[in-house]
């Protein structure tokens, strides 16, 4: 049997194709097998053992027992259990079939042998299909059924069974006597005698239709009477020669107008006689068959009467008690089947007595081997083929489930593949877009780098030339005003050159680190304060922390103001700069020995207001101490947490 999980992914199409082919072949086989029709059992449901409380464990003694005895000449080879049907609420599954039980056989000497038992595990629910068990004990004539656990129903346990057949050789035999340990009797529905009454939920043992019926032709024999025949009627079947009777099976007919009437036209009283033919060809001894039919209507069941191996040529069937249909007595019969073992006796002729005139014209329908247009079958052959159909149907259902599972896997594979392709396309498009953005940014960065280098090379060179020229002219010019202008020009050239270097440095960096920023501030001071004694104290252990561009801009501009004031206004000969970094703050201290000033007389050109605002924007604090003739000390304290602070505020500088 196929297993969906064991089929590799790329073998799925081939496997599905094979499964379809196997399924088609099985369907073709099933189409040639008889089907189990819907039950039309309206009474005589079988044996009901009654309800018992649920038990948590298996009892030591059986809760229900059945003893079924057969005729002394019977030696059982098989036992057939027909499940009862749940007729409640339109259900058609099995009802009351036991879970834990055993079937025993008993021979003439009382020896008991287990036929089959389910004591360690539950018996699988057979549904509507009969359970066929082989009996290996020779001369077994009694069957014992011991039920330890029934079927759970509504919080209780129940045991029920529709019919039991005993098989000897190739023939199913009716049980002779039933003894029940307990039962729930409610005729005409439940009774232990219904376990051996030949009325089951299985329906008629008919094969599949081989060819279409002629239009407007009734498949079964049917006659309507004006009144009940006072002396009954007789159907005489001519077997052509003396034959030993095994079984006479009567198949009920179907209503000719298509109305569903189980057991349509079947008489309520049927008895039979077998007439022997003498050596001279005359009618000789007449013997009645031991069993007659005088029970309820058979419904959708064949009536089997045992011939007890009596010999004769003419079988006379006496019928009485015709059912009324549409207010008129009606007789109908699908087929009269006479057999012994597995041999069907051909019927040479049928004669009718007590029937309306012209009825014999259709009597051949009772001997054509068909009922309702379907070939009649031996019960055991039919059960075997029904079981084969059930097995094939189960196999087909498994194939269909495997095919569905494989198709789901295949569909899921393509869904995942399609989704993956879409994701790959999206990722590819995003990658192309990101690559384009990266390349564009790289190109812009290269452009900025080239511009910065060009500025550094061209503008920086020019600024350097301006500074050199200003220094040379400063020595040659005697006019004090012109000399001051040249000093300012020299300072501006130095500051512009330092700023240009800062721009080039920032462009070259992917990120600005605090140690590098302090180093650049030191280099700026060295360039701007050229000619002045400069002492710079660097931090002993500076943390390598990232600095935002905004923080860098405000700190550089603040430092630029301080250095500019030292170079331009203070007239200092010595400047001391100290950078210090602690665990939580950064501190800048700039001290010069210049002329100093009175803080109360703030001059606009010194940019003190701008410095205060930048210190506040940095989240820090600026202090300034100065006095005329005593130099100036400027201190800035900033918390380290402000290094990554972002702001877009701009302030005008003094230079």
CATH topology of domain 512-655: Heat Shock Protein 90 (3.30.565)
Q: How far apart are CA 31 and CA 388, in angstroms?
A: 12
Say if CB 555 and CB 618 are below 8 A apart.
yes
Confidence of residue 571 (pLDDT cuts 50, 70, 90): confident
Considering the domain 47-196, what is its CATH architecture? Sandwich (2.60)
Q: What is the pLDDT of residue 444?
A: 81
- Alpha-carbon distance of 434 to 422, in angstroms, equals 18
**Residue 43 has what pLDDT?**
84
Q: Where residue 622 falls among pLDDT bands split at 50, 70, 90?
A: very high
- The predicted-structure confidence for 270-289, as pLDDT tens digits, reads as follows 999 999 999 999 999 999 99
Which pLDDT score, from 0 to 100, does residue 484 have?
65
* Mean pLDDT of the 314-331 span: 95
Please state the rounded mean pLDDT for residues 23-48: 88
Q: How confident is the model at residue 653 (pLDDT cuts 50, 70, 90)?
A: very low
For domain 221-376, give the fold. Answer: Jelly Rolls (2.60.120)
Q: Which residues contact 354 (CB under 8 A, 6 or more apart)?
A: 229, 231, 232, 233, 234
pLDDT tens digits, residue range 360-396? 999 999 999 999 889 999 988 998 999 899 899 999 9
**Cα–Cα distance for residue pair 642/645, rounded to 1 Å:** 5
Domains 47-196 and 221-376 share a fold: yes
Position 497 pLDDT exceeds 80: no
Angle, CA 52 vertex, CA 50 and CA 54 arms, to 5°:
145
Sign of CA dihedral 607, 609, 612, 614: negative
How many whole angstroms separate alpha carbon 216 and alpha carbon 184?
Answer: 47
Region 511-524 average pLDDT: 86
Average pLDDT on 386-413 reads 92
* CB neighbour list of residue 628: distance below 8 Å, 6 or more residues apart: 595, 596, 597, 598
Q: Burial of 655 by CB count in 10 Å (0-12 exposed, 13-18 middle, 19+ buried)?
A: middle
**Per-residue pLDDT for 602 more than 90?**
no
State the Cα–Cα distance between residues 520 and 502, nearest whole angstrom.
7
Residue 312 pLDDT greater than 80, yes or no: yes
Q: Which residue has the tokens 């038992």?
A: 117
Lowest mean pLDDT among 50-64, 132-146, 425-439, 513-527: 513-527
CA distance 48 to 53: 15
- Confidence class for position 510, pLDDT limits 50, 70, 90: low
For 362, the 3-state DSSP assignment is helix
Q: Are strands 370-371 and 349-353 parallel, antiparallel or unpaired?
A: unpaired
State whether residue 269 is helix, strand or coil: strand
Q: What is the mean pLDDT of residues 434-459?
A: 76
Tell me the per-residue pLDDT of 175-215, one tens digit each, with 9 for 90 and over.
Answer: 889 999 999 999 989 999 999 988 888 889 999 986 766 66
Task: Name the least confident of 242-251, 260-269, 504-513.
Answer: 504-513
* pLDDT value of residue 650: 47
Segment 94-151, tens digit of pLDDT:
899 999 999 999 998 889 999 999 999 999 999 888 999 999 888 899 999 999 999 9
Residues in the chain: 655
Asked if residue 654 has pLDDT above 60, the reply is: no
Predicted confidence band at 652 (pLDDT cuts at 50, 70, 90)? very low
Cross-strand bridge partners of residue 160 = 48
Q: Is the pLDDT of residue 20 over 50?
A: yes
In the chain, what are the domain boundaries? 47-196, 221-376, 512-655
Please give the average per-residue pLDDT across 226-245, as a whole number.
95
How many Å separate Cα 436 from the centre of its chain?
45
Mean pLDDT, rounded, for 426-430: 94
Whole-model pTM over 0.75: no
Reported as half-sphere exposure (CB side, CA atoms, 13 A), residue 596 has a value of 15
Task: Decide if pLDDT at 647 tops 60.
Answer: no
Distance CA(261)–CA(299), nearest Å, equals 8
> Mean pLDDT throughout 160-167?
94
User: How confident is the model at residue 158, as a pLDDT?
Assistant: 97
| pLDDT score at 467 | 62
**What is the band of 604 on the pLDDT scale with cuts at 50, 70, 90?**
low
Q: State residue 500's pLDDT score.
A: 66
């Amino acid at each position: 049997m196929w297993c969906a999980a064991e089929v590799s992914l790329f073998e799925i199409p081939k496997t599905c194709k094979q499964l379809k082919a196997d399924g088609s072949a099985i369907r073709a086989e099933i189409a040639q097998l008889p089907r189990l029709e819907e039950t039309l059992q309206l009474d005589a449901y079988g044996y009901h053992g009654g309800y018992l409380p649920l038990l948590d464990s298996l009892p030591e003694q059986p809760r229900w027992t059945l003893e079924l005895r057969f005729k002394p000449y019977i030696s059982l080879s098989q036992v057939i259990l027909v499940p009862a049907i749940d007729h409640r609420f339109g259900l058609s599954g099995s009802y009351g079939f036991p879970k834990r039980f055993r079937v025993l056989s008993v021979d003439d000497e009382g020896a008991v042998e287990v036929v089959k038992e389910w004591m360690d595990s539950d018996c699988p629910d057979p549904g509507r299909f009969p359970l066929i068990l082989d009996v290996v004990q020779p001369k077994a004539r009694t069957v014992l059924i011991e039920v330890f656990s029934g079927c759970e129903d509504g919080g209780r346990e129940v045991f029920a069974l529709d019919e039991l057949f005993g098989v000897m050789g190739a023939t199913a035999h009716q049980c002779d006597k039933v003894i029940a340990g307990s039962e729930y009797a409610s005729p005409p529905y439940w009774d232990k005698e219904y376990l051996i009454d030949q009325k089951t939920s299985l329906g008629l043992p008919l094969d599949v239709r081989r060819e279409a019926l002629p239009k407007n032709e009734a498949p079964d024999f049917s006659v309507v009477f004006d009144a009940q025949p006072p002396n009954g009627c007789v159907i005489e079947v001519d077997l052509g020669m003396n034959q030993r009777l095994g079984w006479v099976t009567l198949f009920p007919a179907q209503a000719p107008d298509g109305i569903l009437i189980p057991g349509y036209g079947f008489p309520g009283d049927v008895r039979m006689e077998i007439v022997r033919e003498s050596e001279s060809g005359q009618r000789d001894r007449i013997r009645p068959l031991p069993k007659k039919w005088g029970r309820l209507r058979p419904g959708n069941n064949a009536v089997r009467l045992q011939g007890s191996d009596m010999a004769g040529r003419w079988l006379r069937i006496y019928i009485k008690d015709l059912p009324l249909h549409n207010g008129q007595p009606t007789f109908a019969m699908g087929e009269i089947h006479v057999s012994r073992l597995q041999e069907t006796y051909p019927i040479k002729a049928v004669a009718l007595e007590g029937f309306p005139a012209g009825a014999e014209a259709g009597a051949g329908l009772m001997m054509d081997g068909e009922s309702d247009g379907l070939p009649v079958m031996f019960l055991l052959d039919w059960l075997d083929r029904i079981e084969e159909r059930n097995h094939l149907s189960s196999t087909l259902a498994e194939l269909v489930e495997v095919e569905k599972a494989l198709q789901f896997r295949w569909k899921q594979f393509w869904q995942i593949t399609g989704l993956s392709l879409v994701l790959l396309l999206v990722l590819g498009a995003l990658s192309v877009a990101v690559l384009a953005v990266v390349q564009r940014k790289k190109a812009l960065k290269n452009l900025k780098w080239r511009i910065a280098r060009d500025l550094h090379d061209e503008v920086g060179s020019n600024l350097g030339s301006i500074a050199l020229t200003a220094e040379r002219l400063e020595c040659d010019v005697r006019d004090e005003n012109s000399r001051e202008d040249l000093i300012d020009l020299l300072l501006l050239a130095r500051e512009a050159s330092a700023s240009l270097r800062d721009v080039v440095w920032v462009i070259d960096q992917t990120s600005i680190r605090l140690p590098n920023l302090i180093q650049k501030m030191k280099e700026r001071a060295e360039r701007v304060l050229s000619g002045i004694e400069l002492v710079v104290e660097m931090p002993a252990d500076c943390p390598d922390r990232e600095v935002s561009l905004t923080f860098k801009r405000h700190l550089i501009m603040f430092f630029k103001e301080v250095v500019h004031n030292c170079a331009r206004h203070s007239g200092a000969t010595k400047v001391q700069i100290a950078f210090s970094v602690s665990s939580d703050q950064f501190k800048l201290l700039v001290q010069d020995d210049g002329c100093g000033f009175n803080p109360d007389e703030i001059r606009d050109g010194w940019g003190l207001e701008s410095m205060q605002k930048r210190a506040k924007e940095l989240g820090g604090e600026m202090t300034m101490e100065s006095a005329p003739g005593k130099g100036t000390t400027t201190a800035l304290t900033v918390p380290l947490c402000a290094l990554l602070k972002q702001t877009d505020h701009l302030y005008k500088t003094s230079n």
